[in-house]
């Protein structure tokens, strides 16, 4: 009797199981969180990762993405990312990582080398090195950037200059002449050259360009020696201080990057401005002076013509609960960026005048004119990987030292000597032999 019931019981069990499965709610779609360091800089499709791209990814994969901005200040961004990653929270899943954060965040991010190895040979070596920590690729370069010199092409023509300056000496000569002429025509607030000089990360990479172009080294060298206290660095800082009140407004010591951009692009109060190469990519050509401006490499000192490396990469948190989906988002965004760059290479899209671009940008815009066989600025990285978790302190100490020279609170030689001792204390590294 029991045997006759066994097939019935088995069938009932299968039926109950099927009913139970049928009553379950369908699985919820995966939702990723992407922390975007550029999210507040511009709205809509002018972001580095546009809402349109995120929407397309969701339509293609069914994976939802919460797109979050961060504070605008670079150091506040870093502190936020570091705190989230150190706590091991499962979200955000994908982070936008600045080139200077690699050494400090490497322990908390997925090694992407095996996932994106086929994409890396085409990446600039200096860019790739900035995201590589002890052989680990902590982020995929997504939007590498370099500093540039913007100039008023219409004013250069007005005062008889056919080409933008290639050296700091040439820039000073042009800036003085144009500033004098524009003020004589009634523009009393016009200046020759502006740049962000407040105590932020921006001053760290600007001053690094000054000193490397004069042969002053990279503050902390790859062999972990502190080299900042040398005559070439001192001379470079002295040049920057000499500009303040001469060809640069005294107010530059409190200028952020946006203050400098607004003074050049919106107010039209400067002949030259130091900025980043992605500005013209994010802003519409209808902006004032856009059609009358040009972009070129940062001028050279006695040793070299260099441009600071900037931009950011895409990283996946080691604590992400959705690693496979996060990797899929990174792969999608990198592919979309490659498509955009291929269009940029095909034909000019901008009304700006291009000339002698930095090597990193010259690869993106090969149609841009250059000075014969001479190349534009080479890329120089800030000493972030070598100083690792100490970089935030290193950068703050460095920018404060330079700022003290710009404001006249200390001489360049005093500031360099004091900074050297402070960097030894922060890092434990030795000083370079003299």
When pLDDT is cut at 50, 70 and 90, the band that residue 8 belongs to is very low
Confidence tier at 421 by pLDDT (50, 70, 90) = very high
Question: In the predicted model, what is the mean pLDDT of residues 196-217?
Answer: 96
Assign 28 a pLDDT band (cuts: 50, 70, 90). confident
Among 45-54, 248-257, 363-372, 380-389, the range scoring the smallest mean pLDDT is: 45-54
Q: Kindly report, residue by residue over 54-82, the tens digit of the pLDDT.
A: 999 999 999 999 988 888 788 888 999 99
Tell me how far CA of residue 292 lies from CA of 376, 389, 421, in angstroms: 21, 43, 46
346: confidence class by pLDDT, cuts 50, 70, 90? low
Q: Which two tokens stand for residue 28?
A: 């919820």
CB neighbour class for 14 (10 Å; exposed up to 12, middle 13-18, buried from 19): exposed
Task: Identify which of 338, 293, 15, 332 has the alpha carbon closest to the alpha carbon of residue 148.
Answer: 293
Ranking 7-16, 174-183, 338-347 by mean pLDDT, the lowest is: 7-16
Its sign, for the CA torsion 410, 416, 421, 424, is: positive
Contacts of 412 (CB under 8 A, 6+ apart): 233, 234, 235, 237, 238, 241, 405
Q: Where are the domains of the chain?
A: 31-144+311-343, 146-309+353-431
pLDDT at 296: 95
Structure tokens at 103: 């050494």
Question: Among 123-127, 251-255, 289-293, which is the least confidently predicted range?
Answer: 289-293
Q: Which residues on neighbouring strands pair with residue 294, listed in sequence order?
A: 151, 353
Please give the average per-residue pLDDT across 26-43, as a whole number: 72
C-alpha of 152 from chain center: 24
CATH 3.90.180.10 fits 31-144+311-343, yes or no: no
pLDDT at residue 192 tops 80? yes
pLDDT of residue 278: 78
Beta carbons of 193 and 387 less than 8 angstroms apart: no
Matching CATH topology for 31-144+311-343 and 146-309+353-431? yes
- What is the DSSP secondary structure assignment for residue 47, as one 8-state letter? S
Is omega for the bond preceding 92 within 30 degrees of 0, making it cis?
Answer: yes
Pairing of strands 293-296, 140-152: antiparallel
Is the pLDDT higher at 289 or at 33? 33
What's the fold here for domain 146-309+353-431?
D-Maltodextrin-Binding Protein; domain 2 (3.40.190)
Return d(Cα 234, Cα 216) in angstroms, integer.
Answer: 8
Find the mean pLDDT for residues 228-248: 98
Number of Cβ atoms within 10 Å of the Cβ of 105: 23
**Can you read off the two tokens belonging to residue 329?**
């988002």
Is the pLDDT at 1 greater than 80? The verdict is no
- % of the chain at pLDDT higher than 90: 68
In this prediction, residue 374 carries a pLDDT of 64
DSSP 112-123: -HHHHGGGGGGS
């Amino acid at each position: 009797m029991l045997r006759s019931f066994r097939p019935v019981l088995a069938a009932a069990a299968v039926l109950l199981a099927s009913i139970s499965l049928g009553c379950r709610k369908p699985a919820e779609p995966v939702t990723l969180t992407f922390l975007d360091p550029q999210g507040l800089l511009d709205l809509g499709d002018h972001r580095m990762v546009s809402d349109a791209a995120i929407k397309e990814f969701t339509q293609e994969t069914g994976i939802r993405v919460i797109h979050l901005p961060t504070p605008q200040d670079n150091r506040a961004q870093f502190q936020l990312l570091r705190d989230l990653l150190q706590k091991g929270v499962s979200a955000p899943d994908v982070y936008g990582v600045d080139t200077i954060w690699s050494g400090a965040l490497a322990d908390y991010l997925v090694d992407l080398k095996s996932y994106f190895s086929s994409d890396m040979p085409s990446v600039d070596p200096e860019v790739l090195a900035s995201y590589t920590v002890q052989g680990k690729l902590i982020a995929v370069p997504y939007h590498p950037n370099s500093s540039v010199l913007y100039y008023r092409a219409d004013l250069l023509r007005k005062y008889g200059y056919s080409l933008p300056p290639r050296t700091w000496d040439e820039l000073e000569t042009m800036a003085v002449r144009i500033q004098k002429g524009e003020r004589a025509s009634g523009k009393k607030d016009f200046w020759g050259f502006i740049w962000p000089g407040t105590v932020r990360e921006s001053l760290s990479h600007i001053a690094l360009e000054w000193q490397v172009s004069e042969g002053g080294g990279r503050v902390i060298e790859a062999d972990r020696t502190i080299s900042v206290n040398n005559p070439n660095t001192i001379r470079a800082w002295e040049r920057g201080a000499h500009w303040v009140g001469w060809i640069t407004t005294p107010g530059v010591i409190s200028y952020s990057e946006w203050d400098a951009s607004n003074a050049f692009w919106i107010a039209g109060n400067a002949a030259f401005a130091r900025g980043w190469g992605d500005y013209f990519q994010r802003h519409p050509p209808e902006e004032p002076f856009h059609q009358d401006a040009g972009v070129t490499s940062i001028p050279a000192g006695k040793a070299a013509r260099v441009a600071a490396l900037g931009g950011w990469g895409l990283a996946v948190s080691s604590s992400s609960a959705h690693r496979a989906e996060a990797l899929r988002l990174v792969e999608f965004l990198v592919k979309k960026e490659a498509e955009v760059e291929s269009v940029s290479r095909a034909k000019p899209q901008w009304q700006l005048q291009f000339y002698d671009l930095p090597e990193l940008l010259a690869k993106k815009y090969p149609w841009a004119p250059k000075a014969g066989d001479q190349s534009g600025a080479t890329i120089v990285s800030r000493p972030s990987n070598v100083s690792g978790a100490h970089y935030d302190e290193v950068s703050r100490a460095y920018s404060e030292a330079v700022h003290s020279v710009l404001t006249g609170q200390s001489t360049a030689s005093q500031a360099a000597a004091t900074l050297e001792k402070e960097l030894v204390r922060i890092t434990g590294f030795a000083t370079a032999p003299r």
